[in-house]
Amino acid sequence: MSPEVLTILMFVSLMVLIALGHPLAITLAGVATFYGLLEYNWDVGALLDLFVNNAWGLQQNYVLVAIPLFIFMAQILDRSKVSEGLFDALYIVLGGLRGGLGMAVIVVSTVFAATTGIIGASVVAMGLMAGPALLRRGYQTGLGAGIICSSGTLGILIPPSIMLVVYGGLTGMKETSVGNLFAGAILPGILLSGMYLGYVAIRCYLNPKLGPPIPKEDRTATLGQKMTMTMKNFVPPFSLILIVMGTILMGIATPTEAAALGCVGAMVLALFNRKLNWEVLSLACNSTLRTTAMIMLLFVGGKLFSVVFLSMGGGDVVADLLLGMDVNDYVILAIMMGVVFLMGMFIDWAAILLVVVPIFTPIASDLGFDPLWFAMLICVNLQTSFLTPPFGYALFYFKGVAPPEYSMSDIYRGILPFVFIQLIGLAVMIFFPQIITWLPTVFFGS
């Protein structure tokens, strides 16, 4: 069969098997095995050599050691309740504004995102803390769900992000090193967080019934008390962020070394919160083991898929199709972003990265796009994959812990404006690439 036919059949097979509910890692490896045997004329030995060499090379990537370390740091911070104190403080500081409680959720989620990097931890934690609080204060259920789900997904983008570590490990390029990706993601994360804040503030100002302020009789704290509470609960997690990110951006430590330092810092914060005990450590280690095993299994499956896909000429087929179009380069970019967005509705972010990065990165390079800028556009785009139905993981995380008043239809309706905001943010980053490239240039040079 021709490479064109094999390319189409391979993608169709992958989508059908995923739609049938089969595990992603096994599906990727299974499709790779079948089409690899077709490509190598059923030479099992040759295909096994290809798989073993690539799987072994993947496991030797030193950068990937940061994955279990960052996950462990996130688990310790999640179980030490660092975010609860900050939420209580900002609840008092911002609660008097229209939409103030919703804005407090966004601020806390942004800080929490920078300390965990895991979507499930952020959405579940904020769903448990803020979901009932927003209901009690009369917030519209759709708006409340949209605030929690969208701000919770910032954890996949704002450093230290597991997705950025995975991306850096996949490409192996200097331009898209983990340090550059971390620096490039800071301003996009802040931009999206600011856009969420602006949307909630404007909408609740125009219609106070959507997010009413805390009644005056409940606002008894003085300015000094508000400042003290905020600083007490904000400084410790923010200091940890500065330590982890600062050592990377200043070139003092590699991402893996900084992740290890973050683990120590997280345990120190847990100790000060009197939450560092054997139960917390045991649960954190168990969760870290399970999550890391899942990610690495996806890595192996995705690596096998991409190797077979590229070896049978699938990458060239896609490149020739896109580069052969008589259109503007940014139209091709829009097509690639559209493919990533649509895949995000059905497939896990890790599988998408493992499939599209080896295919789209050479195309972006041929078009003359900055590799770091293009990488960050994909990562920002993938943030929407946690929010877009039918398989938006953040929506199901939230529904699993939210009060029954939050119906699934409310959650779907509430999240749509925030998905639109994310797409606007993506467009802004396309037209103003300095949002992504400025900080990496400041820290690491051009």
Neighbours of 166 (CB within 10 A): 25
| Model pLDDT for residues 99-109, shown as the tens digit of each residue | 888 898 898 88
pLDDT in tens, 349-361: 877 888 888 889 9
Gap between the Cα atoms of 262 and 258, Å rounded: 6
251 in helix, strand or coil?
Answer: coil
Q: What average pLDDT does range 147-151 have in this prediction?
A: 90
Q: pLDDT grade, residue 259 (50/70/90)?
A: confident
pLDDT band at 390, cuts 50/70/90? low
What sign does the CA torsion over 9, 168, 61, 286 have? Answer: negative
Q: What's 11-69 look like in SS3? A: HHHHHHHHHCCCCHHHHHHHHHHHHHHHHCCCCHHHHHHHHHHHHHHHHCCHHHHHHHH
Query: What was the pLDDT predicted at 83?
Result: 65
Q: Over 80: is that where the pLDDT of 364 sits? A: yes
| For range 148-176, the mean pLDDT | 84
Containing structural domain, residue 59: 3-444
pLDDT digits (tens, 9 = 90+) for 304-359: 888 888 888 877 778 887 877 878 899 999 999 998 998 888 777 877 888 888 88
Read off the amino acid at residue 131.
Answer: G
Q: Which pLDDT score, from 0 to 100, does residue 118 have? A: 65
pLDDT at 116 over 70: no
Query: Of how many residues is the chain composed?
Result: 446
pLDDT in the model for residue 189: 92
User: By percentage, how much of the chain surpasses pLDDT 70?
Assistant: 93
Query: How many domains does the chain divide into?
Result: 1
What pLDDT, on the 0 to 100 scale, is given for residue 355? 81
| Predicted confidence (pLDDT) at residue 165 exceeds the cutoff of 90 | no
CB count in 10 Å sphere of residue 192: 28
> Residues 8-18: what's their mean pLDDT?
83
> What value does the CA radius of gyration of the chain take, rounded to a whole number of Å?
22
CA distances to 114, 148, 221, 440 from 153, in Å: 11, 9, 31, 23
171: Cβ contacts below 8 Å, ≥ 6 apart: 357, 361, 371, 375
At 62, is the pLDDT very low, low, confident or very high (cuts 50, 70, 90)? confident
Closest Cα partner for 235 from 82, 396, 438? 82
Under the banding of pLDDT at 50, 70 and 90, the label for residue 154 is confident
Peptide bond into 160 cis (omega under 30): yes
* Cut 0.75: pTM above it: yes
Q: Give the H/E segment covering residue 188.
A: helix 178-206
At residue 231, the pLDDT reads: 76
Phi, psi of 253 (to 5 degrees): -140, 155
- The vertex-271 CA angle with 269 and 272, nearest 5°, equals 65
